[in-house]
Structures are given as C-alpha cells and as structure tokens.
Structure 1
Amino acid sequence: MAQVPLVVGLGVRNSIVSALLGKGSEKFNYLHRFLGRSIFVASTLHVAPYLHKYAIDDDFVAQLGKPVISTGCFGYIALILISLSSIPVIRRKAFQFFQISHWIGMVILLVSLSVHVPICLPFTLSSLSLYFLDLLLRLLFKTQNAFLGTPAVLLPLSDGLTTLLEIPSLTTGWRAGQHVYVRVFHPGMGLGKMWESHPFTIASAGAEGEGDGEPLRVFVKSVKRGWTERLFGFASDGEVGTGEDRMRFGGAKGGRRCRVLVEGPYGGTGNILFSSFSSVLLVSGGSGITFSLAQALSLQSKALLGLVRARSIDLVWIFQSEASLQAFMPYLLPLLNNASSNKTASSFKALKINLHIYITRPSSQFAYDPSLSTTLLPAHDHLYIHTGRPNLSDLVNAKVEEAAMEAKRLNGRGVNPCGLGIGACGPQGLVRSLRNVVGGLKGERMGEVGGVEVVTEAFGV
C-alpha cells in the first residue's frame, strides 16, 4: 500500500512532479494508471489465497465478522470499483461516472486500509495530505474569483456544434498551449451539470511585453448527451451582442452573459519553446485548432518584439465540414492580416504565416476559388484550401526541406540552425501518424536542420 501516495501524487493537478519538470500532470497520467493497476494486481494476489482458504473451510461468513477481514473486503471492493470505472471505453463514454467512482472508491479504500492494517495509517494520511494540498492550491492560486466567479460571454458559433467562451477581464497569465478547467455555475445548466468542470485549451494569446493581450478564449465542441451539448443549448437560448458582434463571433444568433469558475492554467509545452526554432510546423485536427491557433498568435506577438527565430510558420488544419470553416474563419484571418501589416508595424522582421486548410468531407456545393475574394474567404497569398486528407509525410518532408534551406542560409552567415519545431493537436490517430512520420526521418537530414522536436496533444482521457 506504500504505492497509494504515489498514485495520488501523480493524479492531482498540482503534483510535485509537474512542478519539478514544468509539465502538466496529464503528461504523467500513464504512470498514475500503471501504478493504480499494479496496486489492483498486487491486492488480488493478496486476497485470492484467503478467499480460497475460506471457501474450502466454508467459514467465509464467520470470517466477515472480524474487522480485519470485513475492512479488507470493503477495501478490495473499492479497488474493483476504481479499476472497472477506469477501463478506457467506460472512462470515455461516462467520464462523470468515472470521476465519481474514483472519489467514492478512494474514500472507502483509505478508510478501510486504516482499520484493516494500522501500519497503513501513515500512507493513508500522506495520500490525504497530498489531495487536500492540491485542493488548497487550486482554491487559493489557480481559481479566478473562486467565490464569485468571473464574468464571461457564451456564444454559439454558426457550425451548430461549437460554443465560444470568452472572458474579457483575463488578458494575461497563461502561455500558449496551456489549458484551463471551466465550470459554468448557473441554474440554466441544470442541477447536475452546473457542478461539473471540464478542461479546454486556451485559444488566445496572452499579453506579450507591454502590449494588450487578447481575452482568454476557449472553444467548446458539443458532444451529444453531455455537458458540452447542454452548454451549447444554454448559450443558444440567450441573446447577447449586436449584429456586428455576432458576425465577429461566427454569425450565429444567441449568446449569454454569466459567471464562470476558471481554474488554471495547467500544462503547456514544458521546456520546448517554438519561438526558439528556425522553422515551425503546426498540425491540427478538428477542435485541436485551439492549440495551434494560440501558438501562432503567440509567435506573431513575439515576432514584433524580435523574440522569434523563424521567418515563417505553417499552420495545417484538418476538419470534416466547411461549416467549421465558416465558424472559425473570423479567428484565423487575423493571422494572415497581421502577418501582412507587421512589415510596417515593427522594426523587427515580419513573421509570415502560411495557413493550409483541408476539408475531408466537403458538401457537393462547396467550391473555393482563390481568385475570388469574399468576406469569409478573402483572396490571400498565404491561404491554401484543399479538399481531402493531407499526406502528412509530404507536409513534414516539405517543411524539412524548407528548414534545410534556412539552415544553409544561417550557416552562410556563421550562425548554427536551431531546428524544426512541430506541434500537433487532434485525434490520437493523427498524432500517432505524425509521430511515425517524424520517426522515419533520416538522422543525417535531421542533423542538417539542427534537429526536429515534436510536441503533441491528443484527444481522449
């Protein structure tokens, strides 16, 4: 049972390991799961011989009358509850059941262990100390206006699936790639769902230097029969903002103002800084665009301060329907427009952003003509829209070739190249495929460009 404090320490959001290594606790969740399963296996090996012995002697009921046996059974049942609810398919399909089962199971397990074997008391107390320390840190240092909440705007986007949550009063305090936990504490969410908190990647860039940052912004994609679907319905039932505001937010009707509890930020890219690379490639699938959008906006702001090595970055977004394009384009266009205006807005070099959009299941009516400029899809030299899925190998190899050319330019000036930084966020299949492509690159080629670093964020729990 000495492993229990380790499991708790790796499972809390403010873990010691995260503080020491500078990475979010989600990066170490595989260790949390591994140790938890090892505890279950070890406990089963401990319980099975006793059950076998009691079955042969036919005195199991009599043995249950002993506190040491009954508390041991309660603790093992709690472990079964935790383990069953942690099965990946159950965890994904019924996440709230998984969370509640974890909480109830841990309480029963720790109490039962303390009575079952008194020598376990120090381990249970240390586990509880780690958990309550995490709660205290979250309440005092990680939650904005923990008792009153923070004013926010909820707006449904025109794709009928996505809710924009924007907090105007928060414009700094996070790094690109970090996420926050959001709880919409409003009766309109329903008695059960108003208590739920869910993590979302921040899609805006905080203030860099002395400039004003964008408001904290997250995009919440609706999933049937879940908290996100209720949030979209709740936002759609209201009416906030002028017609001009709604066009800025994707052209949808509805919207609400309410108070939310925002906890974070957590996670991030750790010690990997995209601004330090000579070349950058950002690949997103579906709602993973929030990760790449925040990175691109942050690099764009830092470029004005002369803090970005790369002269250009490529952002690739892969999604199913053009409805997503209509909803998100108001947030993507500033990347292109600001890249053009930066040439005169700063004494430092402009950062060119190439936006590659791939629509995998376009409707038969969809057609894009780069020579025709519209409000939604203006003609732009660095906007490329395709139908179908991209060839990830071609994308990576083309970027490596570009990075090699940049390396030759730097070498000619006596400067060492600083490598290629690749960021990916999306479904696990996309992230896995991209890693495989990068893993297949030749070592000599990677050495020419100064190395290749990959940062990935995959959907799923």
Structure 2
Amino acid sequence: MMDMKMNGGGIPWLDQPVLLHSSRADKCKLSPAQCAYRNSHWRYWYEADHVYALATVYFCCAIIGVFALSNFLARYSPEWVKRTRIWRATTSVSRYLAYRGYGFPMMRYWTPSLGVLLLGIAGVGFFVGMTLGPQPYYWPTDASYGSSPPIATRAGWMALALLPFVLALSVKANMISALTGIPHEKLQVFHHWTSYAMFALALVHTFPFIIYHEWKGDMVKQWKTSVVYWTGVVTIIAQAYLTLMSLPFIRNRFYEFFKATHLLAAVVFVVFFFLHCDFRLSSWDYFIATGAIYLLCLFTSHARTYLVNGLHTATLEMLPSGLVRVSVPTVMNWTPGQHVFVRFLTSDFHLFTAHPFTISSVCREPDETGQASEIIFYIKPRGGVTGRLAAIAAKSPGCSKKILIEGPYGGVSAQHMSRFDTLLVIAGGSGGGFSLAMVDEALRLSALESKENNSGHEGRRNLQVVFSTRDTTMADWYAAEIESRISHSTTLSADPDNGYETAVSVHITSRVNSASSSPSIGFEKDADKLTPTEITTTGSFSLNVHRNARPDIPGLVARTVAMGNTQGQHVGRKQRIGVLVCGPASMLHDTRNAAALAQTRALGGEVEELYLHSEPFAW
C-alpha cells in the first residue's frame, strides 16, 4: 500500500505493530507499462524518502560543508598563504558578499547581505525545482496508482528532512556554529528561512490530499475515520502559529508573548508531526536525528549555565542617561562584543525567559585589578523585562538580583583585535555599551603589547570612535564615560612610540537647540566642512561633540581606508583595518555597504584587509 491506515487497539494513533521503519515490500498489480511508470525514479512512493528527503539533507550539508571548510582554512592556513594575492582576492570577494545589503527606508526594512540572499535564492531554486520539476503532480486516472498525490509525497519528505536543520539552527550552542565559526545570531536568518520553506512545503503536502479526496468524494469519510488527518491538522496549525508569530514585525511587537509560547507550540508541532508520520519508511530517523542534535545542544548550553557559570548576583543602578547599569562580579571569561542570555530569578513571569544583553566591559585577570572581573550591561528600558528592571532600579538604587547567565556567545577574539593597525568603532543609541567594551579591549591589548614589547606594529596605531544618539543626556553620559576610560588607560603614557592615537566623535542627531548648543547645522553630509561644537584634546586623545549632525558613515569608512593607505606607505607595510559597529538596522546597513565598497580598495592593494564585525540590537 502507499498509505498506511490506522487499526484499532495498541498505542493510540500508531499502526500496529510499532516499528522503526515501515516495509518497502511492493507488489505492483498493474500492467507492465503502468508499473514501469509508477516505479520510475521520481515517482516511486517506496523510495521517495531516499529520492527527496536525502537529497534535501545532502543539499543542506553541502552548504554547511563549504562554510566549514572555509572556516578551517581561515583558522589554520599559514600566514604566507594569507598574504598571497589569490587569498586576498577570495577574501575580499567573500567579504563583499557578506557585507553588501539593500535597504528600503520607506518600509524600514534592510535586507540581509547579498551572500545570504544568494543562498536563499539557491534554496528556493532547489525546493521549487524538486517540487514542481518531476511529473506528474497527481496520478493519472487510467488505473489505481495510489492514494498519495506525487507532489504531496515529495513535498512532505522534503519538509520532514528540514526538521533537524530547523531545530539545529534554533539553539545558541549549536553544531553548525562550531563547524562554520558563524555565531548563532547570524544563523537566525537561516532558522527563519528553513522554517518558512518547511511551512510552504507542508502546505504543498496538505492541499493535494484535500483536492484528491474531494475529487473522489470521500473527504468527509477520511476526516471521520483516518487519524492521519487529525494529526496532520494539529501539526499544520501549530506550524502556522510558529511561522506567523516568527515574522519580524509580529515577533518584535509581541516579543514577550512570543518567547513564552514559542516553545510550547514547538513541542505540540513536533509531537503531532511524529504521530502523523507514523513510522512511514524511514520517517522516524529524522526525528531521532532531530532529538539527538537538539538535546545535545540543549544539554551543552544548560551545563554551561548551571554547572560552569553557576548562580550570580547582579546589582542594578539607574543612570541619569536613562540606562540601567547592571554589574555582575564573576570569574567567567569573555571577549569584547560578546553577549550572554540572562535569566532573572524573580517571582514574576520573566523567570521563564532568558534575554540577550551585550557585555560592555573587559575581562581582566584578577592579578591586574586585585579583584574579580565584572560583567557590565547598559540596558535601554523598553517593555517587558527591561522596563521592569528600570522600575526596580529607580525604586531601589543599588539593589541586587540573583541571575543565571548562559554564554557568552559571538564577539571578536583578542587575537583578531590585536591584528588591526586601525580600528573604527561605530555605535548608535544603546549600542554605546558595545563600543566601550571594544575601546577598553583595544587599549588593554595595546598596553600588554607595550609591556611585552611584541606588538608587531610600527609606530602608533589609530583608534576612531563614532557614537550617535538622539538624546543629549545619553551623549553627555557617553562622552564622560569614554573620556574617563581612555584618560585612565595606561596605554597613553606607557610608550610614546606605541599605542593608539584616539579620536572620539559624539553626534547628537536631534534638532532641538538649547542655550548650550550651537545653531542647527543640519545633517553631516560632508564631515570635512563641519566644525564640531565642542572639542576636548588631551595628549593622544581628542573628543569632538557634534550637535544636530549625523555621522557620514560611508565617508568615515572611506577616509579610514585612505588614512590606512597613507600610514602603510609611511611605515612600508600595508595596513589592516577593523570596523566594529553596533546600532540600529539603518546604521548597520550603511556600515556594511561602506565596508563592502572598501573591499575593492583592499583588492586593489591600498590596504592589506578591511574586516567588519557587526552587532545588531536584535535578531
């Protein structure tokens, strides 16, 4: 048979006896020509799992394999290989694809990178080709070939094959990140897209059965007697909920509700999907693979949270800027720009959800400071847990809360940070905390290199920091904070021939004038013609405050490359430039495109490399 029917007794909703795989035994009773037609490669039901499900697995694994190989080569290739022209050209092209994006400001939408879009197009091509390419969509009516429409069969198997990848991409400590070196937050787009593809395939699987049984006139009978339809309906409803609630404009609007219900809906979906498949052919193999992958990743993250990191105490403080400062003494290790997921152990609903926060402090050895390091977050209060934290901090300054920390994830390694001759750090709004950590780490590494006399850099390096905000109080807080951190850095006085020449620009984008501000000078379209309203200069550190002006990000990146080219000619060695950005989607979009354009100049030999690390507010 091509369809397995439920019989009575035994385990509810499963055929008896329950097996791992159903039989592939087939005896065709049609004419030889009809049997040959029915049993051909693209139509044979008893091999559909191999033809369609395994092909989907191979397609996904091939993509992962390409990036895993690239990650291996980037990590372990010798330095002389990385200095060859073919390596530099390949790196520049891949970075162009990884950075270049497209924006629709009127819709407040900015696309993923060109490379991600091309992968999406490849996926669409694969699934559309595999679904609509083979013929027929429905069995001919000259004989009884089976009750499963061919288009529904192949779509169902491809949807099932995507399940392990959807779940693997959903977790933070995942195997794909370990293989490819791509952090989990940058894989979320593929978690969304594979989920959308799986839902689309599920719909293509569902409706042909309805059309077929409506044509036969037994749809009501099937609904009343076949449990496969009941389990299928529950599965598709749960999947529709997961898919629709995951759309960005819905998820962001109802984030707390989404977080609270997503896991429950996912459990319902997987359980009823499992019952719906009812061990047809090798269907349960995909659930076994999904469970093994997901549970291993889940165990890894929970082991790190509860056994390695353990319980922490967080101190809350409300700052005049409107930010909540959360400080957590810890013996954990982390690198700049990393984020963690924090679960506040309170008596309210937020106990059940963990929220991501970017670390705004540097991990220092206890012998450097004489005390344990502190993880510091600067949180912009919004709704949900951040609003509640702000209310608690305002009511009880300096109060403490018990927390659990999962992570850290992402970030830029210290080895990578120390490579750059020029650093351009760009931040907007609450992304300022990210930039503070990056600046601290750059200065800390430079100080260590000066003490050990092994920096590998000739002359002083350049550190440029650009911060943009609408809020004057936020700008005041940031200017004071970064000036304090840089002024107290030992780098500035450790060695006059090494360290960083540091320039900080603070941009207040609001057009509201005050007694202390200059007349409105509009947006900063040409920064060279713009005079800052406030300047503070101390030794190798300068701080400029621009009021009523937006930073010209493409111009900043272009001038940084030009400055690196000039510096390289001066010291006789091509420079390496790092661009680090955290801010709203529009800021990330502008920076990514500017960094993509600069790859042409890196390919032309003006600088050795230009590397971009971007950190979004949310994913």
TM-score of the two chains, using structure 1 as the length reference: 0.86
Contact 1:302 1:308 in 2 (8 A): no
% identical aligned pairs? 24
Answering whether residue 332 of structure 2 is matched by residue 332 of structure 1, we say: no
Q: C-alpha offsets along residues 255-312 of structure 1, whole Å, 9 cap, x if unaligned?
A: 3112111111011236982320121111111111222211110010011111484612
Aligned to 1:237: 395
- Counterpart Cα distance in 1 of 2:411 and 2:303: 21
Find the counterpart in structure 1 of residue 350 from structure 2.
193
Of 440, 458, 469, the residue aligned with 1:319 is 469
Q: Which residue of the other structure, out of 377, 382, 407, is the alignment partner of 1:218?
A: 377
Query: SS at the partner of 1:417?
Result: coil
1:348–1:127: structure 2 CA closer, same or farther, 3 Å change rule? farther
- Given the alignment of the two structures, is residue 295 of structure 1 paired with residue 444 of structure 2, yes or no? no
Which protein is bigger by CA-based radius of gyration? Answer: 2
Give 1:84 deviation, angstroms: 0.9
- 1:169 Cα deviation after fit: 3.1
**Alignment-derived partner of residue 257 in structure 1:** 400
Q: 2:611 aligns with which of 441, 453, 457?
A: 453
The corresponding residue for 1:251 is none
TM-score by length of 2: 0.65
Cα distance change on mapping 1:143 and 1:220 into 2, 3 Å: farther
Q: Distance in 1 between matches of 2:175 and 2:481?
A: 36
Deviates more, 1:5-14 or 1:396-405: 396-405
2:583 and 2:616 in contact (8 A); partners too? yes
SS of equivalent residue, structure 2 residue 580: strand
Q: Which aligned pairs between 1:40-55 and structure 2 lie closer than 5 A?
A: 40-55=199-214
Matched, 1:136 2:286: no
1:250 corresponds to which residue?
none
Partner of 1:175: 335
Judge conservation of contact 1:284–1:292 (CA < 8 Å) in 2. yes
Q: CA deviation at 1:316?
A: 0.4
- Work out the CA distance in 2 between the residues paired with 1:81 and 1:131: 21
- Aligned pair in 2 of structure 1 residues 272, 436: CA closer, same or farther (>3 Å)? farther
Aligned-partner Cα distance in 2 for 1:235–1:144: 29
Q: Does the Cα contact within 8 Å between 1:311 and 1:349 map onto a contact in 2? A: yes
> Is it true that 1:151 corresponds to 2:304 in the alignment?
no
Give the unaligned 5+ runs of structure 2: 1-159, 450-454, 519-530
Letter in 2 for 1:316: V
Q: Kindly tell me: are residues 49 and 271 of structure 1, through their superposed partners in 2, closer, same or farther at Cα, counting changes over 3 Å?
A: farther
Once the two structures are TM-superposed, the CA of residue 352 in structure 1 deviates from its matched residue by 2.6
Q: Within 2, Cα distance between the matches of 1:150 and 1:316?
A: 33
User: Could you tell me how far 1:372 is from its partner in structure 2?
Assistant: 12
Q: Which of these residues, 513, 517, 522, is aligned with residue 364 of structure 1?
A: 513
Cα distance, 1:343 vs structure 2: 4.1
- Name the CA distance, whole Å, in 1 between partners of 2:599 and 2:445: 32
Report the Cα offset of residue 54 of structure 1: 3.7
Matched-pair contact (CA < 8 Å) for 1:425–1:457 = yes
**1:210 and 1:357 mapped to 2: Cα distance?**
34
| Structure-2 separation of matches of 1:442 and 1:10 | 29
Q: Does the CA contact (< 8 Å) of 2:466 and 2:551 recur in 1?
A: no
TM-superposition CA deviations, 1:320-350 (whole Å, max 9, x none): 01110233344312333035x4344469723
Deviation, 1:389, is 0.5
The structure 1 residue matched to 2:426, chosen from 280, 283, 291, is 283
Task: Kindly state the Cα deviation for residue 39 of structure 1 after the two structures are TM-superposed.
Answer: 0.8
Quick check: 104-113 or 75-84, which moved more? 104-113
**CA–CA distance in structure 2, aligned partners of residues 130 and 386 of structure 1:** 51
Change (3 A) 1:444 1:39: closer
CA, structure 1 residues 122+112, in 2 after alignment: closer, same or farther (shift >3 Å)? same
Matched residue SS, 2:432: helix
1:269 is aligned to 412
- Counterpart AA for 1:17: I
1:273 partner SS: helix
Q: Report if aligned partners of 1:81, 1:101 keep a CA contact under 8 Å in 2.
A: no
Residue correspondence of structure 1 range 27-106 to structure 2 within 5 A: 27-56=186-215, 59-64=218-223, 65-106=225-266
Contact 1:23–1:270 (CA under 8 A) maintained in structure 2: no
CA separation in 2, counterparts of 1:196 and 1:256?
21
| Contact preservation (8 Å) 1:321, 1:359 | yes
Are the structure 2 counterparts of residues 299 and 305 from structure 1 closer, same or farther at C-alpha, using a change threshold of 3 Å?
A: same
Distance in 1, matches of 2:308 and 2:492, equals 40
3-state SS, counterpart of residue 3 of structure 1: helix
| Selected match of 1:400 from 561, 564, 567 | 561
Which residue number corresponds to residue 122 of structure 2?
Answer: none
Match of 1:428 in 2: 585
Q: Deviations over 1:20-55 (max 9, x none)?
A: 233321111122122111111111111011122344
Name the residue aligned to 1:246: none
2:289 paired residue among 89, 101, 126: 126
CA distance in 1, matches of 2:256, 2:551: 35
Separation of aligned partners in 2, 1:456 and 1:103: 28
Q: Is the 8 A contact 2:502 2:542 kept in 1?
A: yes
SS of the residue corresponding to residue 255 of structure 1 reads: coil
| Residues 1:262 and 1:330: Cα distance change in structure 2 (over 3 Å) | farther
Superposition deviation, residue 144 in structure 1: 6.9
- Alignment-mate amino acid for residue 80 of structure 1: A
Match in the other structure for 1:419? 576
User: Match for 1:121: what amino acid?
Assistant: W
Q: What is the letter of the counterpart of residue 428 of structure 1?
A: A
Please give the alpha-carbon distance, in whole angstroms, between the structure 2 residues aligned to 1:397 and 1:342: 27
- Secondary structure of 2:448's partner? coil
Deviations 1:343-400 (A, max 9, x none): 4446972323211100001642263699999xxx966450010011011222122212
Task: Output one character per residue of 1:402-430: Cα deviation in whole Å (capped at 9) or x when no partner.
Answer: 1112101221xxxx323211111111111
Q: Secondary structure at the match of 1:76?
A: helix
- Provide the C-alpha distance between the structure 1 equivalents of 2:488 and 2:566, rounded to a whole number of angstroms: 25
- For the residue of structure 2 that corresponds to 1:211, the secondary structure is helix
Deviation, structure 1 residue 314: 0.2
Task: Give 2:418's aligned amino acid.
Answer: S
Match of 2:571?
410
